[in-house]
Amino acid sequence: MSARNLAKAREYHENLLRERRIQFYEYVRDATEAWLKATSR
């Protein structure tokens, strides 16, 4: 169980989280831009 916990904890390392966070922010930005473009007619 301890080895499984360590493996899971590695998924939350700052470097990996940073990449996922940036991807999320880019998705939100793109979705917001599309929404603004569609609603500004």
Distance in angstroms (rounded) separating the CA atoms of residues 15 and 22: 11
Q: What is the pLDDT of residue 11?
A: 81
- Name residue, tokens 């390392």: 13
In tens, the pLDDT along 1-41 reads 798 998 888 888 898 899 999 999 999 999 999 999 999 86
Residue 13 backbone class (left: φ over 0; alpha: ψ -120 to 50; beta: rest): beta
Distance in angstroms (rounded) separating the CA atoms of residues 20 and 25: 9
Q: How many separate domains does the chain show?
A: 1
Residue 34 backbone class (left: φ over 0; alpha: ψ -120 to 50; beta: rest): alpha
pTM of this prediction exceeds 0.85? no
Domain that holds residue 14: 2-39
Distance in angstroms (rounded) separating the CA atoms of residues 38 and 24: 21
